[in-house]
Structure 1
């Protein structure tokens, strides 16, 4: 692939994840970054995500007429869900110029809507990183640091591994390979929020 490829051209590729391994750099989160994230999100490193946030991922509706829709389980992270839903709809309706733009595009197969979700998340994260980089935060299942001092553990931030992509193509492949973390969860909404913040940077 050429570096000059635009995101629009990449979107037409059906599934890159089986073609090559993405060039991704990973590192564990540390307590100072976790504190910065909590201070930015909550105003204090002693606060934690609510249960409404913890149980929310980007799970699709299985009612036939609403298969394009992301289900909100409880109140809370509706702003994040709305933004992702808009980008998923953009992929479903406009990404494939060969598709008929009628109601059939809103009745996607499970595989196609998952593909659109991964492309939507890639677009969001790539824009957050200024079209130069993106960072994806995924849970490792174990603590990466020992919480000390004025920091309240929530069982999520302490387990994160941060994966950096410097090419849009690599980001798409990585998200396709790990999309279940966002779609099925359990912390999909939190993972995306943290990923967007870190792609953009704490300072910005």
Structure 2
């Protein structure tokens, strides 16, 4: 005869100087003991309530601004539909980073990644916060979610000039039907828009509806991109681009460079130099070229092969951001460089010898890549004989010695 499971009582637990309290007993099922556990994720799918249903005019304008047209579904639309934000498993060495299933979406993801690192490494407050960066980078699922909410909130709020922001969320109902000028894509025509005048309200609703941006086979990336466009506004985008008609996604589905500047600075400028420069003369009506107006929180470093157009003029407001985090663009391949020491962009003495983490979501990256930069030993290297990433690093730390620490250069 099988013995009955032992009876378990709540037993008082008492520590010195502390009143007794009771511990919830484990639950017995057969011969197995099930201990109470906390769910890893707090994200739940909740119905999208309120907001304003999208109109045909707005749907048409969004598709044209993002994809260049709305009358057909092409390869670019198909690349971006069904894509959401996905983290690596929590509490692992890559827990701080976003996964990318498609190369075309990497540029947007790396810009968001920069602000995720800002929140993971530099925005954690309180006495219980662990200062060890290796622990912070091994983010828990909860920390991942909080950092993503903070990152999306920062980007959208800055795009709305810190006055307002618009959030796009999808419902089940369809509000825009197919016409000769618009072909439905399964996402755009289901959107409800929400406008916020305070960042706290935006952050609260991003947290509430975070499932929309994390759901498997959802449209989280596109919903965020639409939110970004509406937060900036079509008229402001046109001004940012100097009146040029530019779609935010290129024909090969990768992001246009002005989309990166929109996410990093709040303005979709085509130029990366500091301030405003004038091209031409008084006789030819010199035209202003507006670049980066204020110092960015997350920076940008760019390198291009000479046959691809040569070096891009990137100003110090992007090269020396508030936080030591840089989105990188080697030709059209995006990645991110960062250092956990906030003083790196505040004290030039910290730039004598330091490490940079590099992440690109590349299949060629098999483990954590930490590169050591030594600016004390100036070396002259031929651009053609150096890895692309080293050439990019030299656009900021000219002549610095770059040590891959045993990792074979893969960029």
TM-score of the alignment, normalized to the shorter chain, above 0.5: yes
Structure with more contact order per residue of length (Cα contacts < 8 Å, sep ≥ 6): 1
| Cα contact 2:67–2:77 (8 A) shared by 1 | no
Residue 44 of structure 1: how far off its partner (Å): 1.6
Q: Structure 2 regions of 5+ residues with no counterpart?
A: 1-48, 237-411
Judge conservation of contact 1:140–1:160 (CA < 8 Å) in 2.
Answer: yes
1:43-82 pair list within 5 angstroms: 43-48=68-73, 50-62=77-89, 64-82=92-110
Cα distance, 1:149 vs structure 2 = 3.1
Runs of 4+ more than 6 Å apart: none
- What is the root-mean-square deviation of aligned Cα atoms in Å? 1.7
Relative to structure 2, which stretch is displaced further, 149-158 or 94-103? 94-103
Q: Distance in 1 between matches of 2:100 and 2:209?
A: 21
Q: Judge conservation of contact 2:86–2:214 (CA < 8 Å) in 1.
A: yes
CA distance in structure 1 between the partners assigned to 2:234 and 2:132 by the alignment = 39
For these two proteins, the number of residue pairs brought into alignment is 181
Q: Which has the higher strand share?
A: 2
1:52 to partner: Cα distance: 2.6
Q: Which has the larger radius of gyration?
A: 2
The DSSP-based 3-state class of the residue aligned with 2:168 is strand
* TM-score normalised by length of structure 1: 0.83
- In 1: Cα distance, 2:156 partner to 2:69 partner: 25
Q: What TM-score do the two structures reach when normalised by structure 2? A: 0.42
Separation in 2, partners of 1:50, 1:73:
15
Q: Which residue of 2 aligns with 1:36?
A: 61
Equivalent pair of 1:55/1:73 in contact (CA under 8 Å): no
Native 8 Å contact 1:58 1:188 kept in 2: yes
**Larger helix share, 1 or 2:** 1
Question: Which consecutive residues of structure 1, in runs of 5 or more, have no partner in the other structure?
Answer: 1-23
Q: CA deviation at 1:101?
A: 4.5
Which of 164, 170, 192 is the matching residue for 1:161? 192
Contact conserved, 1:93 with 1:101, CA < 8 A, in 2?
no
Match of 2:229 in 1: 197
